[in-house]
Amino acid sequence: MHESIILYLALIMIIMFLVMLAQKVKIAYPIVLVLGGLALSLVPGLPSVEIDPELIFLIFLPPLLYEAAWQTSWKDFWKWRRVIGSFAFIIVIFTSCVIAYVSQAVIPGFTLALGFLLGGIISPPDAVATTSILKNVNVPKRLITIAEGESLLNDASSLIVFRFALVAVSSGHFVLGEAVGSFFLVIVMGFAVGIGVALVFYAIHRWLPTTPSIDTILTFVAPYAMYITAEEFHYSGVIAVVSGGLFLSRNQHSILSHLSRIQGINVWSTVGFVLNGIVFMLIGLELPVIVQGFGESSLWDAIKYGLIISLVVIVTRIASTLGASIFTVFISRYIKTADSSPGFRMPLIFGWAGMRGVVSLASALSIPILLKNGEPFPERNMILFITFIVILVTLVFQGLTLPAVARWAHAEDRDYDLPAHEQDVIISRKLAKASLDLINEKYAREIDSHELLRSLKFKLERDIGFLDHVRECEADEASHAYIARYQHISKELLEHKRRILHQFNKKETYEEEIIRQHLAQLDLEEEKVRQQFLHME
């Protein structure tokens, strides 16, 4: 027991070191973690690590999906719903079909049912890998939105394809009509379960006397309640978590206090970071377990087949994105679309951003070792190894080359007329002006006699003047130096205040709790300074 705890603590420390290394070399951390886990797995004497599929699906998947749903913009999700839906369902099924027929033709002993099983495993891009890599690349906002939305939903469709193919391999027969009907039932009822459970938590947050700590705990309970309830009735737990998470996220300002939101964001960002780090590290660490079932000759064959299938996966996705662009131009003649002329640049980047991840590996590992009749499951080791190769190729090769592809394609953001920093300044100025107008209209008589109210008015007037000056700054080199100087001096002042507070804390006269409150306020002020010019960097 103690050895296991020490092992996982050491693993977390290694993960943090690798993430810091990734930030230093400016590479997305999922890539570095997978390569780090792969290198660690080759160290002699270290105990082998086996991924328990149930651990991934039950422990890791619900909170990771729930966090992604909370961070997803419902407005943007709805705007691009057709593209997201087509890639999350239609393209996943299409990719599964292509992989099924190619693998049957290329890999000796592979049946069509085994091909669909492999297709269901490797067809969906990974949510965390894709979005974390895209956020480090200068691409239009719509690409990140569509990738996040697709990754939220595609696990559901791929897992359903996987389940039907698994039944077909085990039983030896497959009924298309029954599979199609079950597919829609699983999706629709998963959505219904997710919304139903979300309504229960909505009522708890809204009408019971919760505290920020209780609210935060409830947000951890919710995804597991949604996932387990849906899976208990054999519906899609993924769809349940995503739909429920989107519903609660959209209503968070009416059910959570400001303290609950601040605390929840901080806690979830830390937990999400740890969970993501562990799952990507586990991918690399799983290599020795996967290759155990191969001899030397069959291993080289598996590498060859894995590279072929990886090429098929990449080409199929790029063809799908470019084909979707052509279809959008055609269909926009008859219905209103979010963009009637997407071109080829953004679809090409989106097609290249199809990294596979831990859900694919967990699905492959969940294949039973034996069939119901006691015979070994056919080609299980081959499917496992091909899955690992596809994850490695798409995550490392495509992930590392994605920035170069994005620079070459040079897709412009056509969705917003104003740059992000100008939008931020306009909104901030409008809020300050509206607050100032309200004070002048409703409380004009109290201003002269109420010193705190007078100070608040002065602060709002000062903020408006500050924002007007910021808006005049253009995004050129001189303005960047000007702003950098302001940030440097502001941080120096804040550090000076912190030193004074620490001096106060050494005196018996002052309570440490009061000092901590002031230190927390300085942290918020420093974050405000950083956020004021974040979009201009």
- Residue 427 burial (C-beta neighbours within 10 Å; 0-12, 13-18, 19+): exposed
Answer whether residue 249 shows pLDDT above 80. Answer: yes
CB hemisphere CA count around 46 (13 angstroms): 20
Residue 262 inside a domain? The answer is: no
Same domain, 91 and 175: yes
Retrieve residue 395's tokens.
Answer: 């995550």
Contacts of 69 (CB under 8 A, 6+ apart): 152, 241, 242, 244, 245, 246, 249
Over its C-alpha atoms, the chain yields an Rg (Å, rounded) of 26
The predicted-structure confidence for 391-446, as pLDDT tens digits, reads as follows 999 999 998 898 888 888 887 777 666 666 677 777 778 888 888 888 888 888 88
Angle between helix 296-331 and 112-122 (nearest 10): 70
Per the CB < 8 A criterion, the answer to whether 514 and 476 are in contact is no
Q: Do 41 and 136 share a domain, yes or no?
A: yes
3-state DSSP call for residue 414? Answer: coil
φ, ψ of residue 232 to 5 degrees: the values are: -60, -35
The total of other beta-carbon atoms located within 10 Å of residue 259's CB is: 13
* Per-residue pLDDT tens over the stretch 126-137: 877 777 777 777
Q: What percent of the chain has pLDDT over 70?
A: 91
| Domain total of the chain | 2
- Last residue of a domain, which of 381, 409, 437? 409
Do residue 384 and residue 473 come from a single domain? no
pLDDT in the model for residue 536: 54
Q: Please report whether residue 209 resides in a domain.
A: no
**Distance between the two ends of the chain, CA-based, in angstroms?**
48
Residues 439, 444, 447, 449, CA torsion sign: negative
pLDDT of residue 77: 86
Instruction: Based on the fold, state whether residues 277 and 332 are members of the same structural domain.
Output: yes
* pLDDT tens digits for range 20-54: 999 888 888 888 988 888 888 888 777 666 667 77
Residue 486 lies in a domain: yes
Mean predicted lDDT score pLDDT of the chain: 83
d(CA 330, CA 322): 13
Q: Do both 351 and 443 map to the same domain?
A: no
Which pLDDT band, with edges at 50, 70 and 90, does 180 fall under?
low
The pLDDT value given to residue 198: 96
Distance of alpha carbon 47 from alpha carbon 316, whole angstroms:
38
Q: Is residue 246 part of a domain?
A: no
Residue that is written with structure tokens 């969940």 in the block: 366
Task: Tell me how far apart the alpha carbons of residues 421 and 531 are, in angstroms, rounded to a whole number.
Answer: 10
pLDDT for residue 537 is more than 60: no
Amino acid type, 448: D
Residue (of 144, 158, 116) closest to 362 by Cα position: 158
Q: Among residues 106, 146, 105, which one has the least CA distance to residue 339?
A: 146
Buried b (16+ CB within 10 A) or exposed e, 356-387: bbbbbbbbbbbbeeeeeeeeebebbbbbbbbb
Place of tokens 């408006």: 464
Q: What angle do CA 521, 262, 141 make, to 5 degrees?
A: 110
Would residue 338 count as lying in a domain?
yes
Is the domain of 133 the same as that of 48?
A: yes
Same domain for 338 and 445, yes or no, is no
Whether 362 and 431 share a structural domain? no
**Domain of 440, in residue numbers:** 420-536
Mean pLDDT of 473-498: 74
- CA gap 496, 499 in Å, rounded: 5
Estimate the share of the chain in helix, then strand, then coil, as percent rounded to the nearest 5: 80, 0, 20
Last residue within a domain, chosen from 348, 376, 409? 409
Per-residue pLDDT reduced to its tens digit, 79-105: 888 888 888 888 988 999 999 999 999
* Domain assignment present for 385: yes
Asked if the model's pLDDT at residue 452 lies above 80, the reply is yes
Closest to 388 (Cα-Cα) out of 369, 364, 370, 368:
364
Q: CATH number for the domain including 379?
A: 1.20.1530.20
The pLDDT of residue 313 is above 70: yes
φ, ψ of residue 370 to 5 degrees: the values are: -120, 150
Q: Are residues 443 and 497 in the same domain?
A: yes
- Establish if 64 belongs to a structural domain: no
Tell me: do 461 and 378 sit in the same domain: no
**Span 4-29, average pLDDT:** 86
Length of the chain: 537
What integer pLDDT is reported at residue 176 of this predicted model?
A: 55
From the list 234, 42, 71, the residue with the least C-alpha distance to 149 is 71
> Which of 350, 383, 409 is the endpoint of a domain?
409
The tokens for 243 are 């739909």
SS (H, E, C) 82-102: HHHHHHHHHHHHHHHHHHHHH
Give the integer Cα–Cα distance in Å for 65 and 228. 14
Residue with tokens 């890999």, as numbered in its chain: 107
Closest CA to 411 of 487, 489, 337, 325: 325
494-520: b (≥16 Cβ within 10 Å) or e:
eeeeeeebeeeeeeeeeeeeebeeeee
CA angle 228/232/235 to nearest 5° reads 95
Kindly report the pTM of this predicted structure: 0.83
The answer as to whether 236 is a domain residue is no
Residues 401 and 461 both lie in one domain: no
Are 390 and 442 within one domain? no
